[in-house]
A and B are shown apart, each in its own frame.
Chain A
């Protein structure tokens, strides 16, 4: 499965009918996805490691939890006065 198909899976629950409201929601989501991937060099370096991680084997709960710990540490750093 390529990334377009993966995104299509994520989008499956959205209304893709011809009504304008549905199209606007869909377009807004795609715009958000495009912005996410508009990454800078530091983020790119991190995501390169994630590509290797995905290739190395299945993603375990502990992988998410490890990311949560790093996220919390940076949130604490950002929120510190």
Chain B
């Protein structure tokens, strides 16, 4: 099963050399969390640049803000949330200090939450870029990957 999923992901990720390489280079959960954090830093920088353009409609700016803020708490934490949300760094340090299965699962769950939130944020950003530039470059392909996985899973599992 893992081999088939690897093939599917390898096909889906072709052409994104450095981003793929960064995730490839991560050798443990600390480095994976770091790559995610820096990936978010790159995307939020892009969104802030877009938001700063006078030609960006207010509706687009507000959508980017909402999506960016919703994602930020999973990456850098939110001390003001109730209950407070730890950053990926906090959870990395907790896992490294305790080494327990529970702390590992907590970190992995946070990484999954960050991935899902960033997925929505990146889609929002790419749609905004399309609406402003009329380009379809880099627009996510919807659920194509999950559709392929589900079709494959229905046959072999």
Contact = CB atoms under 8 A, between A and B. Distances in A.
B42 A46 contact: yes
A59 B105 contact: no
Contacts, number: 210
A38 B138 contact: yes
Chain B at the A interface: mostly helix, strand, loop or mixed?
A: helix
Contacts of B33: 64
Contacts of B22: 47, 50-51, 54
User: For the complex, would chain A's binding face be called helix, strand, loop or mixed by DSSP majority?
Assistant: helix
A6 B153 CA distance: 22
Given A18-B157, A43-B39, A43-B42, A38 B122 contact: yes
Given A64-B37, A70-B41, A74-B47, A35 B1 contact: no
Given A34-B145, A46-B38, A61-B89, A39 B6 contact: no
Interface in A11-38: 11-14, 16, 18, 23-24, 26-38
Of the four ranges (under 10, 10 to 19, 20 to 34, 35 or more), the interface on chain A belongs to: 35 or more
Interface of B: 1-2, 5-6, 8-10, 12-13, 16-35, 37-48, 51-52, 61, 64-65, 68-69, 72, 75-76, 87-89, 92-93, 104-105, 108-109, 111-112, 115-116, 118-119, 122-123, 137-138, 140-141, 143-146, 149-150, 153, 157
18 contacts: A6-B23, A6-B26, A29-B115, A30-B9, A32-B116, A37-B16, A38-B13, A39-B19, A43-B19, A43-B42, A43-B46, A44-B19, A45-B18, A47-B35, A51-B18, A53-B38, A77-B52, A78-B51
